[in-house]
Amino acid sequence: MIQVMQLGAVSPVKAVQAKPLEQSTPAELTQSFGQYLQNAINSVNTQEQAVSKLNDQYLVGNVDVTKVMIASQQAELTLQLTTEVRNKIIDAYQEIMRMQI
């Protein structure tokens, strides 16, 4: 796992504690995965808001441009990762739907 520098109120995605697969029910697995996705989306939103605040502070002259650029790049990478995960989930769903019973 790559650790990124935190700026402002940005917090990393928190890991969801889950039971081993053999002890988990399908409903619990779905709920854990859903919580993980919700945490990831919330993290992207939080990073975007932090970039917006840093950008406003830069325009006023309170923040160095390097901090704004780093935060912007982190938010962009997080958004790209989230988009790729979404694409893989959609691909997996479509593959499952193509399976013959």
Q: What is the pLDDT of residues 14-71, one digit of tens each?
A: 444 445 545 666 666 666 777 888 888 898 999 999 999 999 999 999 999 999 999 9
User: Does residue 67 lie within any of the structural domains?
Assistant: yes
C-alpha Rg value of the chain to the nearest Å = 18
User: Does residue 70 lie within any of the structural domains?
Assistant: yes
Number of domains composing the chain: 1
Provide the domain limits for residue 46.
Answer: 39-98
Q: What is the pLDDT of residues 68-100, one digit of tens each?
A: 999 999 999 999 998 998 899 999 999 999 998
SS3 59: helix
Give the CB-side neighbour count of residue 30, counting CA atoms within 13 A: 3
Which 8-state DSSP code applies to residue 62?
S
Backbone angles phi, psi at 62, to 5 degrees: -90, -15
User: Does residue 22 lie within any of the structural domains?
Assistant: no
User: Does residue 48 lie within any of the structural domains?
Assistant: yes
Which residue, among 88, 10, 19, has the nearest Cα to 80 in the 3D structure?
88
